[in-house]
Each structure stands twice: as structure tokens, then as C-alpha cells.
Amino acid sequence: MAVDFASFDFLVVPGRENAPAEHWQSHWLGAFANSSRLIQAEWSRPEVGAWTHRLDAAVEAAPRRVVLIAHSVGVATVVRWTAAQPERARAKVAAALLVAPTNVDDPDPSFDLVRNFGPMPLSPLPYPALILSSRDDPRVTPRQAHAFAQAWGADIADVGELGHIGSAARLGLWPQGLLLLGGLLARI
């Protein structure tokens, strides 16, 4: 059965520094008429309370069930919000595509700006979810991405060696990602 993309609101949840024009998330915003970007007040220094509050307001305001399309610390935002609002998440979220989930618990100093999102919740998500993981992601190891998938009850797909799967990967519209999103939506 074909997926009716018009029956959902797609909410793009970028990571730190937003998703510039060349980022696949920005390309997807142009591809889906019923999509919007979650806007944060402070992109450079993410703060878990502010970011999850804005996500909560956006999900609540959506007229239809939402499909969350999160990248990097945007994934931590989604998971932390879900842990805090499980009933709303169950009622309003149709599915989540979780791309390159930053390991906010990593002790390396390069993670200091996102450490306030930790500890990463490790409870099952109340909606279908798919993690897209790169073999050479500097922000999460494949082993940790698999541990997240197991804890969250999510499926996981290896997308090859795409680094952190952001602007530097130059993915454009990223057809492989769209196909994986279609497979996730077909399960709803």
C-alpha cells in the first residue's frame, strides 16, 4: 500500500547550528508541502529545557499526527521530550526518523556543549522509529547507535560512511534517506 504523505505533518528537528541550505533536512523541507522546521532561539549553545519546550509546543500545535525527522542533538531533543511527555508522544507522533544520534553522554570535551541533554533516556519509544547510522560518525559509534536502537525499540539502518550525515556529506535531497523514511512510514 502506498504511503499517503499528506496525512502527516513532517517536523524537521535540526541539531546544533540548525540545518543550512545544503543540509539534507533543508532539501526535505522543500520536498514536503506539509513540513516545517523546529526553530530554536539559540542554535550554538543548545539547552535541553528550551529545546524540548519548543518541540512540545510544535507537536501540540500540529493539526495532524507528526513524523519527526531529527538529526544529531535534535535526536536527543526528541528522545528527552518523549521521556518527559510519553502520553502526548503516543497520541501525536506517528513515527520518528532519528539520524546520527549524538552520544550526549560521551566524556570527550568536544561533547561539552550538548552534555546537558544527558543522560540519554534509554526507555522504549511509544511510536515506530528508525535510526540511520553512519559507520564513521564522529558523534556516535556504530556500537552506541545499535545500543540506542535496542533501548528505544527502534530499527536501525547502516547508511555507509557518511560522517555525521550533515552538510559536509553533501547529500542534497538524499534519495537513500527518503527511501528509508518511506519504509518507516509504510509500517504505520
Q: Torsion angle, CA of 5/11/15/17, rounded to 10 degrees?
A: 110
pLDDT of residue 1: 56
pLDDT digits (tens, 9 = 90+) for 41-61: 999 999 999 999 999 999 999
pLDDT of residue 37: 98
pLDDT digits (tens, 9 = 90+) for 97-135: 999 999 999 999 999 999 999 999 999 999 999 999 999
Percentage of residues in the chain having pLDDT higher than 90: 93
Looking at per-residue confidence, does 33 or 102 come out higher? Answer: 102
pTM of the full predicted structure? Answer: 0.97
